[in-house]
Amino acid sequence: MGQEILVIDDDASLRRVLEYNLQEEGYEVCTAATGEEGLEVFARRQPPLVITDMKMPGMDGLQVLKEIKKQAPDTLVIIITAFGAVDAAVEAMKIGAYDYITKPFNRAALRLTVQKALQFNRLATENRQLRAELTKLDDFGKIVGVSGKMQNILDVIRKVADTEATVLITGESGTGKELVARAIHSLSSRRAGPFLPINCAAIPPDLLESELFGHVKGAFTGAIKDKLGKFRQADGGTLFLDEVGELPLSMQPKLLRILQERLVEPVGGKGPQKIDVRILAATNKDPEAAIAAGAFREDLYYRLAVIPIHLPPLRERQEDVPLLIRHFIAKHGDNKITLSPEAQTALTNYAWPGNIRELENAVARLIIMRQGDAITLAEIADKMRGGGESRTDRVINLPEAGYSLEQLEKEVVLEALLRHNWNQTAAARFLQIPRHVLIYRMGKFGITPEGTSKIGN
């Protein structure tokens, strides 16, 4: 059965008509002949919606409304009133009634009013739950997520925050790697010290050593005074090396030495200086693929990844999207702004290639461009509604003949390996799966360089 509705009316025939019509629409209906009886039923059943006649002997609809709102403020109440008594129904809405319907009414009007009321109730309940979840996440600053994957990551953050372990955070661009680093710092005993982020990809290679390690006056042309590097500036706190995968190979041994010895030597300096810094690092590259390609030192990777944290893309934690939407609405607008169920479904189902950063920008744009406080599906960008997707944009075009899912998976694995010249690390990165999962699939399907012809078997 569907959601439960309580009908209170002293007119037995009208009560039966309402009960029949609502049951035909799939709702579960309980009834009462008086206001007093209705409150007794309400106390036992606690339905989310009550439909009550305005004029009844004894306790009238207005008194029923007041008592229900006193007991359960979130319960919705629809008032039934005679055509000539609309003023009384409007007065009822001022003290908390959701809507009213006038007698005589047709089935379509009843159905529409009830549907709108229950939809409103569902959205209000979801908003309360989302706010409650956001409150729970205060310890983690701006990290928002209730999915299993994010809860696991929050557990890791709790465990490693107040240690000196080096953490390597991986994940696609826009997944919130710096937020994780900031959360680790804020929950650590170093929280009173500085948190200093530096984007290794944004600094020209010839200036990177000076930026990181500092320099002394006269060390090179333009070095007109001593300069503290980022490692010294972050002393007593945390240094966050963002995009560490972009470090030139010539710099990597120097970083490795700092991690091992906690000593830094400025450019042109006469000796190393001791530092007290915790190192957190992040990259949107696949470290194993970079190592295989000779672009990243394996010993540096293991020194950085004492504790590895991988942030999943947003498409792999869709259940977090509604919570993130509410978070960004509160950040860029106010809590009066809502999304229609269709709009929220569209945004939840969209793949978000730019991850959380793209979602925040989309929400901010919707808030600015909205027609009213309720954002509708029509206001969502066409590509996010699925309307911009053509057949040629599809990742895979299925054959006309029927294929089993296992056959299709086998084809995809083989194609990824062929495309990357049988480099398993590169193929796994392309498929966005761990290398050991790829190896398992190869064994499962019997895929080897010598056995490629067996793929159709």
Q: Is residue 17 part of a domain?
A: yes
C-beta separation of 270 from 310 below 8 A: no
Mean residue pLDDT of the chain comes to 85
Token code pair at residue 228: 């503290």
Q: Is residue 373 part of a domain?
A: yes
pLDDT tens for each residue of 204-218: 887 888 888 887 777
Q: What is the extent of the structural domain holding 373? A: 315-387
pLDDT tens for each residue of 231-277: 989 999 999 999 999 999 999 999 999 999 988 888 877 778 889 99
Amino acid at 390: S
Closest CA to 323 of 340, 309, 337, 344: 344
Residue 399 has pLDDT above 90, yes or no: no
- The last residue of one of the domains, among 132, 165, 197, is 132
CA within 13 Å, CB half, 421: 0
Token code pair at residue 74: 């979130």
The C-alpha angle with vertex 450 and arms to 447 and 451, in degrees rounded to 5, equals: 45
Closest CA to 449 of 434, 427, 430: 427
Same domain, 157 and 302: yes
Q: Which residues pair with 31 in a beta bridge?
A: 7
With cut-offs at 50, 70 and 90, classify the pLDDT of residue 403. Answer: low
Closest CA to 157 of 191, 138, 182, 190: 182
Q: For residues 180 and 172, what is the distance between their CA atoms, to the nearest angstrom?
A: 14
Same domain, 163 and 286: yes
22: three-class secondary structure by DSSP: helix
pLDDT tens for each residue of 327-368: 899 888 877 888 988 898 899 989 998 999 999 999 999 999
With cut-offs at 50, 70 and 90, classify the pLDDT of residue 107. Answer: confident
Same domain, 60 and 107: yes
Domain total of the chain: 4
- The predicted pLDDT at position 297 comes to 93
pLDDT tens for each residue of 293-320: 899 999 999 999 999 999 999 999 988 9
- The last residue of one of the domains, among 132, 163, 185, is 132
- Contacts with 104 (C-beta within 8 Å, 6 or more apart), sequence order: 83
Same domain, 190 and 110: no
Token code pair at residue 174: 């826009």
Q: Which residues pair with 227 in a beta bridge?
A: 215
Same domain, 162 and 78: no
- The predicted pLDDT at position 136 comes to 47
Token code pair at residue 42: 């309400």
